[in-house]
Amino acid sequence: MVLDNTRTLLLDNGYQPLSVVGWQRALLLAITDRVDVVEYYDGLEVRSPSRSFTLPAVIRLRQYLRQVRRAVPYSRRNVLIRDALTCQYCGSQPPRGKLTIDHVLPRSRGGDTSWDNIVTACAPCNSRKGSRTPAEARMPLRRRPMQPRLLREHRVALRVPDVPEQWALYLAG
């Protein structure tokens, strides 16, 4: 049994996703009573000479964790997360590698690279729009681009290629 890629979803005490930790860290937090185990993986366990431990799939911090709200940094990845991996022109959801970033007001017309001027687009829509505005190309945006306040749940989901079924309830928002 290969445990190298086994991850555990870490929740705050209000059941909101915080991050993803390795199974070793999750097990240590559970054994030292710093977290409550909310969900276990079926059939995944680690054995020592004297004990056996079922691996936690989801853990929750017992103490309140004061979070400092920081502005979400601009990056291609965060734009894709904000737009839910969806083309903001046609609504398609091609594979992540086939998505592009489009300037709503083209750079050739003075548009900047900022949260308010960038959207996720599929390659055909980006090509069709070209260096025109959405109005000129008759391609209305599904949602006005803006800087998000929080991307926690989607960021956690994107960090793990295959999200375990035990996490679904906690990432649903």
Q: Running DSSP on this structure, what letter comes out for residue 79?
A: H
What DSSP string describes 117-135? GEEEEEHHHHHHHTTS-TT
Measured CA to CA, the distance from residue 122 to residue 112 in angstroms comes to 20
In angstroms, the Cα distances linking 154 to 9, 13, 24, 40, 160 are 13, 19, 24, 22, 10
Looking at the DSSP assignment, which residues form a beta bridge with residue 134? none
Q: For residue 11, what is the enclosing H or E element?
A: strand 7-11
pLDDT at 114: 94
| CATH code of the domain made up of 71-149 | 1.10.30.50
pLDDT at 160: 55
pLDDT at 168: 77
pLDDT at 35: 93
In the chain (173 residues long), the average pLDDT of successive 10-residue segments reads 74 84 91 92 88 92 72 86 91 91 95 95 95 95 87 53 76 65
In angstroms, the Cα distances linking 159 to 122, 127, 154 are 21, 29, 9
Domain extents for the chain? 7-68+151-171, 71-149
End-to-end CA distance of the chain: 32
pLDDT at 69: 64
Q: 141, 104 in Cβ contact below 8 A? A: yes
pLDDT at 73: 84
pLDDT at 43: 84
In three-state secondary structure terms, 43 is: strand
pLDDT at 149: 73
At residue 139's C-alpha, the angle toward residues 133 and 143, to 5°, is 90
Assigned token pair, 99: 């998505």
